[in-house]
Amino acid sequence: MSLVLTRIQNIRANSNLDKFEYRPSRYGALNAFMVQSEDPTGILTDELKQKARTSIGNTLETPVIDYDADITIGSTRTLTIADSENTSKMVQITFATYAWGFTIAPAMYMNNEIGIQKDFETKMMKYIYAFAKKLDEAALAALAANKTQILKNPLLYDWSANAINAKWTERENVFGDLEVMMGANDFYGQLHIVGDPGVESIMRKLQQHGLYNDVNKQNEFGTKIVHLTNNIAAAENKYAQGYAVNAGSLGMLTRFERDCLLGTVSGDGHEWGIATLPLLNMPVGTYFYDSVGDYNTIAGTATADMTRTRKEHYGFAVDVAFLTAYNSAPSTLASPILAFNVSSEDAVYAKPVVVVNSEDNPVNTKEASAGVGG
């Protein structure tokens, strides 16, 4: 009787072959909202953040005063001073709910090459990546919906469809001119750029023109805070797309269910809480309970015997609102968000040089010696 068949089995070892199955992306729009939410001179106050956190089940509102377009400066002194009352409104803040969850059956890992911790971490991270993408897309939608419709001075750039549309030949200048155009709209704060990979491409090439080059282009980006994202949809004939945002113009609010705030633990083992998500560094509501049941179909024959076993249930949820600076008259009053793009038409880094040898424009040449080169 040969022992070969019993000795030659599949030899298994742990590896990182699956390291790129789930991987983080770039969530620049989300990052811009999160960064500006902590700006002490921004649109969010500590009071609004705290009340938002506990506002579930209620309508959250904040008072604002509209811009007065009817102000006039007279040329004579009058006996009677006229009224000049402000118009106030209540702005209602709208939240969207994001929720996900997964389960772990501890007994199934007894005969599995994958450990319980690796399985938990993989399940957790794949949802965090999906959650981050959702939030980044929502943040981009907020920027698009609130971009300025007014630009007092577009310089020499095309201004149409509420965006600066730079030509390919203008790509090295438009980023430096963003502050100028924002300044024409009376926004002078630190400029944040939310941009796609095309913006990164141009930025990297501008960085090659440093202090000791023929032309120093460092300041085109050097004075700005750049947030890169992979979630701006590619547009036809556009090499780069993005938004220029005045500092202190964005904010993100979160709120949680009541039992998460209370840290409730029920008599039958259900638990609520609030935890900080890795990667995103943002709080999220948690919900946990365990159950006992017939879970023999989880992994086919590998769990066929698990007809009565324990399962852990992990749930996560949070409500999020993306806010931009209030604008009472978007069609006539400039917004602190400027959309821009760079065309891909005629996008080449170098054009061939054609030398024309004609009677009117001769090119001097010299015949090579026949003995050259042996």
Please write the tens of the pLDDT for every residue from 291-325: 999 999 988 888 899 999 999 999 999 999 999 99
Domain assignment present for 10 = no
Report pLDDT for 216: 39
- Total domains, the chain: 1
Domain assignment present for 228 = yes
Rounded Cα–Cα distance for residues 26 and 34 (Å): 14
Domain assignment present for 157 = yes
Is this prediction's pTM over 0.95? no
pLDDT beyond 80 at 347: no
Going by C-alpha positions, the residue among 130, 122, 179, 124 that lies closest to residue 30 is 130
Report pLDDT for 211: 45
Domain assignment present for 374 = no
Report pLDDT for 207: 77
Rounded Cα–Cα distance for residues 30 and 34 (Å): 6
Domain assignment present for 263 = no
Domain assignment present for 261 = no
- Which residues, listed in sequence order, are joined to residue 107 by a DSSP beta bridge? none
Is residue 300 helix, strand or coil? helix
**Residues in contact with 194: Cβ distance below 8 Å, sequence separation at least 6, in sequence order:** 28, 29, 32, 140, 143, 227, 229, 242, 243, 245
Is residue 291 helix, strand or coil? strand
Domain assignment present for 280 = no
Strands 191-195 and 225-228: parallel
Computed over every residue of the chain, the mean pLDDT equals: 89
DSSP state string for 22-41: S----BHHHHHHHHHHT-TT
* Least confident among 10-14, 98-102, 190-194: 10-14
* Residue 352 pLDDT level (bands cut at 50, 70, 90): low
Host domain of residue 333 = 23-66+90-99+114-256+321-361
DSSP state string for 217-239: -THHHHTSEEEEBS-SPP-TTEE
Report pLDDT for 15: 80
pLDDT beyond 50 at 355: yes
Report pLDDT for 3: 62
